[in-house]
Amino acid sequence: MAQATHYNKYPQEERRRPRIVSREEAMELQDYRHACHIMLYAPTIAKLFGRVPIRYVVLMMMRYDGRLGFPGGFVDMKDASLEDGLNRELLEELGPSFNTLKVTEENYKSSQVREVPLKGVTHFFVKELTLEEIESIEKESFNAKDHGSEVMGVVRVPLYTLRDGFGGLPAFLSNNFIGNSKSQLLYGLRSLRLLREDQIQDAIWCSQNNQY
Protein backbone atom coordinates (compact mmCIF):
# COMPACT_ATOMS: atom_id res chain seq x y z
CA MET A 1 0.00 0.00 0.00
CA ALA A 2 2.81 2.38 0.87
CA GLN A 3 4.21 1.84 -2.60
CA ALA A 4 0.92 2.58 -4.33
CA THR A 5 0.81 5.91 -2.48
CA HIS A 6 4.40 6.59 -3.52
CA TYR A 7 3.55 5.85 -7.17
CA ASN A 8 0.49 8.05 -7.11
CA LYS A 9 2.54 10.96 -5.84
CA TYR A 10 4.86 10.89 -8.86
CA PRO A 11 3.92 11.30 -12.50
CA GLN A 12 5.14 8.60 -14.90
CA GLU A 13 8.21 10.64 -15.92
CA GLU A 14 9.34 10.97 -12.34
CA ARG A 15 9.10 7.22 -11.80
CA ARG A 16 11.23 6.62 -14.89
CA ARG A 17 14.15 8.52 -13.42
CA PRO A 18 16.58 6.24 -11.56
CA ARG A 19 17.70 7.49 -8.16
CA ILE A 20 20.95 7.07 -6.21
CA VAL A 21 20.59 5.41 -2.80
CA SER A 22 23.01 4.28 -0.11
CA ARG A 23 24.01 0.62 0.04
CA GLU A 24 22.06 0.21 3.31
CA GLU A 25 18.92 1.72 1.78
CA ALA A 26 19.33 -0.44 -1.33
CA MET A 27 19.69 -3.65 0.68
CA GLU A 28 16.33 -3.02 2.36
CA LEU A 29 14.60 -3.18 -1.02
CA GLN A 30 13.53 -6.84 -0.85
CA ASP A 31 11.12 -7.00 -3.79
CA TYR A 32 13.64 -5.51 -6.23
CA ARG A 33 16.09 -7.53 -8.33
CA HIS A 34 19.67 -6.67 -7.46
CA ALA A 35 22.49 -6.66 -10.02
CA CYS A 36 26.20 -5.87 -9.58
CA HIS A 37 28.64 -4.67 -12.25
CA ILE A 38 32.25 -3.58 -12.11
CA MET A 39 34.62 -1.21 -13.88
CA LEU A 40 38.08 -2.82 -13.95
CA TYR A 41 40.88 -0.44 -14.90
CA ALA A 42 44.65 0.00 -14.90
CA PRO A 43 46.99 2.92 -15.58
CA THR A 44 49.23 2.73 -18.64
CA ILE A 45 52.01 4.87 -20.07
CA ALA A 46 51.38 3.52 -23.58
CA LYS A 47 50.65 5.95 -26.43
CA LEU A 48 48.49 5.33 -29.47
CA PHE A 49 50.55 5.94 -32.69
CA GLY A 50 53.39 6.86 -30.35
CA ARG A 51 51.78 10.23 -29.51
CA VAL A 52 48.24 9.96 -28.05
CA PRO A 53 48.36 9.05 -24.34
CA ILE A 54 46.06 6.10 -23.59
CA ARG A 55 46.20 6.96 -19.85
CA TYR A 56 44.07 4.08 -18.52
CA VAL A 57 42.84 0.76 -19.77
CA VAL A 58 39.16 0.53 -18.80
CA LEU A 59 37.29 -2.71 -19.50
CA MET A 60 33.74 -3.09 -20.74
CA MET A 61 32.25 -5.91 -22.79
CA MET A 62 30.14 -6.43 -25.88
CA ARG A 63 27.08 -8.34 -24.71
CA TYR A 64 25.02 -10.98 -26.48
CA ASP A 65 22.37 -8.32 -27.26
CA GLY A 66 24.80 -6.07 -29.16
CA ARG A 67 24.95 -3.52 -26.37
CA LEU A 68 27.95 -2.50 -24.31
CA GLY A 69 27.96 -3.05 -20.56
CA PHE A 70 30.21 -3.84 -17.63
CA PRO A 71 30.92 -7.39 -16.52
CA GLY A 72 28.59 -8.58 -13.75
CA GLY A 73 24.98 -9.64 -13.43
CA PHE A 74 22.07 -10.48 -11.19
CA VAL A 75 22.77 -11.43 -7.61
CA ASP A 76 20.94 -14.64 -6.58
CA MET A 77 19.32 -15.43 -3.28
CA LYS A 78 21.96 -18.13 -2.86
CA ASP A 79 24.80 -15.58 -2.97
CA ALA A 80 25.94 -14.70 0.54
CA SER A 81 26.62 -11.04 -0.38
CA LEU A 82 26.72 -8.61 -3.30
CA GLU A 83 30.44 -9.29 -3.62
CA ASP A 84 29.90 -13.08 -3.66
CA GLY A 85 27.35 -12.70 -6.46
CA LEU A 86 29.63 -10.38 -8.42
CA ASN A 87 32.65 -12.71 -8.05
CA ARG A 88 30.51 -15.62 -9.29
CA GLU A 89 29.40 -13.60 -12.35
CA LEU A 90 32.97 -12.46 -13.07
CA LEU A 91 34.19 -16.06 -13.04
CA GLU A 92 31.46 -16.99 -15.55
CA GLU A 93 31.95 -13.95 -17.80
CA LEU A 94 35.68 -13.22 -17.58
CA GLY A 95 37.07 -16.62 -16.69
CA PRO A 96 39.66 -18.19 -14.39
CA SER A 97 41.40 -14.90 -13.44
CA PHE A 98 38.56 -14.49 -10.94
CA ASN A 99 39.54 -17.63 -9.05
CA THR A 100 42.26 -15.45 -7.51
CA LEU A 101 41.29 -11.80 -8.20
CA LYS A 102 38.45 -11.16 -5.77
CA VAL A 103 36.14 -8.16 -5.52
CA THR A 104 35.63 -6.99 -1.92
CA GLU A 105 33.46 -4.40 -0.13
CA GLU A 106 36.29 -1.90 -0.63
CA ASN A 107 35.47 -1.92 -4.34
CA TYR A 108 31.83 -0.88 -3.81
CA LYS A 109 31.03 2.55 -5.27
CA SER A 110 27.30 3.28 -5.58
CA SER A 111 23.75 1.93 -5.95
CA GLN A 112 20.94 3.13 -8.19
CA VAL A 113 17.26 2.18 -7.98
CA ARG A 114 14.69 2.20 -10.78
CA GLU A 115 10.97 1.46 -10.65
CA VAL A 116 10.18 0.89 -14.34
CA PRO A 117 9.99 -1.15 -16.49
CA LEU A 118 10.86 -3.54 -13.63
CA LYS A 119 11.84 -2.75 -10.07
CA GLY A 120 15.60 -3.15 -9.85
CA VAL A 121 18.78 -2.01 -8.12
CA THR A 122 22.14 -1.78 -9.87
CA HIS A 123 25.22 -1.76 -7.67
CA PHE A 124 28.41 -0.36 -9.18
CA PHE A 125 31.92 -1.44 -8.20
CA VAL A 126 35.36 -0.27 -9.36
CA LYS A 127 38.72 -2.00 -9.01
CA GLU A 128 42.17 -0.78 -9.97
CA LEU A 129 44.43 -3.51 -11.31
CA THR A 130 47.89 -3.59 -12.83
CA LEU A 131 48.24 -3.58 -16.60
CA GLU A 132 49.55 -7.17 -16.38
CA GLU A 133 46.41 -8.25 -14.50
CA ILE A 134 44.17 -6.59 -17.10
CA GLU A 135 46.07 -8.28 -19.94
CA SER A 136 45.77 -11.62 -18.19
CA ILE A 137 41.97 -11.13 -17.80
CA GLU A 138 41.72 -10.32 -21.51
CA LYS A 139 43.62 -13.48 -22.47
CA GLU A 140 41.83 -15.75 -20.02
CA SER A 141 38.41 -14.39 -21.00
CA PHE A 142 38.51 -16.81 -23.96
CA ASN A 143 38.26 -19.65 -21.42
CA ALA A 144 35.25 -18.16 -19.63
CA LYS A 145 32.03 -20.18 -19.57
CA ASP A 146 30.06 -17.30 -21.14
CA HIS A 147 32.62 -16.42 -23.83
CA GLY A 148 31.01 -16.50 -27.26
CA SER A 149 27.51 -16.75 -25.84
CA GLU A 150 26.52 -14.08 -23.30
CA VAL A 151 29.85 -12.29 -23.74
CA MET A 152 30.86 -11.51 -27.32
CA GLY A 153 34.15 -10.00 -26.21
CA VAL A 154 35.93 -7.84 -23.69
CA VAL A 155 36.65 -4.32 -25.01
CA ARG A 156 38.82 -1.40 -23.92
CA VAL A 157 37.27 2.06 -23.64
CA PRO A 158 39.28 4.71 -25.56
CA LEU A 159 39.69 7.67 -23.20
CA TYR A 160 41.26 10.05 -25.71
CA THR A 161 39.63 12.21 -28.40
CA LEU A 162 41.34 12.14 -31.79
CA ARG A 163 42.10 15.21 -33.91
CA ASP A 164 38.89 14.82 -35.92
CA GLY A 165 37.02 15.65 -32.68
CA PHE A 166 34.93 12.47 -32.75
CA GLY A 167 37.20 9.41 -32.88
CA GLY A 168 37.96 7.89 -29.49
CA LEU A 169 35.75 8.48 -26.47
CA PRO A 170 33.04 10.51 -28.30
CA ALA A 171 32.58 7.71 -30.86
CA PHE A 172 32.61 5.09 -28.10
CA LEU A 173 29.90 7.01 -26.18
CA SER A 174 27.74 6.97 -29.33
CA ASN A 175 27.32 3.19 -28.99
CA ASN A 176 24.29 1.53 -27.47
CA PHE A 177 24.69 0.80 -23.75
CA ILE A 178 22.69 -1.52 -21.52
CA GLY A 179 20.76 -0.02 -18.59
CA ASN A 180 22.62 2.75 -16.79
CA SER A 181 26.09 1.47 -17.77
CA LYS A 182 26.92 4.63 -19.75
CA SER A 183 26.23 6.84 -16.75
CA GLN A 184 28.19 4.37 -14.59
CA LEU A 185 31.13 4.71 -17.01
CA LEU A 186 31.03 8.53 -16.86
CA TYR A 187 30.60 8.45 -13.08
CA GLY A 188 33.58 6.07 -12.76
CA LEU A 189 35.81 8.24 -14.98
CA ARG A 190 34.81 11.35 -13.01
CA SER A 191 34.99 10.04 -9.48
CA LEU A 192 38.30 8.21 -9.99
CA ARG A 193 39.65 11.25 -11.88
CA LEU A 194 40.72 9.12 -14.82
CA LEU A 195 39.78 12.14 -16.97
CA ARG A 196 39.30 15.81 -16.15
CA GLU A 197 35.76 17.21 -16.03
CA ASP A 198 36.36 19.38 -19.13
CA GLN A 199 37.60 16.33 -21.08
CA ILE A 200 34.47 14.40 -20.12
CA GLN A 201 32.17 17.30 -21.01
CA ASP A 202 33.93 17.74 -24.38
CA ALA A 203 33.62 14.03 -25.18
CA ILE A 204 29.89 14.04 -24.31
CA TRP A 205 29.29 17.15 -26.45
CA CYS A 206 31.24 15.72 -29.41
CA SER A 207 29.40 12.39 -29.15
CA GLN A 208 26.07 14.26 -29.40
CA ASN A 209 27.14 16.68 -32.14
CA ASN A 210 28.91 14.42 -34.59
CA GLN A 211 29.43 16.53 -37.71
CA TYR A 212 32.07 14.29 -39.24
Ligand X SMILES: O=c1[nH]cnc2c1ncn2[C@@H]1O[C@H](COP(=O)(O)OP(=O)(O)O)[C@@H](O)[C@H]1O
Nearest-CA neighbor of 75 among 97, 103, 100?
103
DSSP H helices, 57-113, are 82-94
To ligand X, the closest distance from the beta carbon of 17 in angstroms equals: 15
- Identity (one letter) of the amino acid at 70? F
Residue closer to ligand X, measured from CB, 27 or 162: 27
Report which residue's Cβ sits closest to ligand X.
73
Contacts to ligand X by CB under 6 A = 35, 37, 69-70, 72-74, 120, 122, 178-181, 184
Judged by CB, which is closer to ligand X: 125, or 166?
125
Which of residues 73 and 95 has its CB atom nearest to ligand X in the complex? 73
Cβ proximity to ligand X: between 144 and 166 the closer is: 144
CB of 86 to ligand X, least distance (A): 10
DSSP 168: B
Helices (H), 36-151: 82-94, 131-140
* Distance in Å, CB of 181 to ligand X, minimum: 3
C-alpha dihedral (164, 167, 168, 171), degrees to nearest 10: 130
| CA 49 centroid distance within chain | 27
Q: Smallest distance from the beta carbon of 179 to ligand X, in angstroms? A: 3
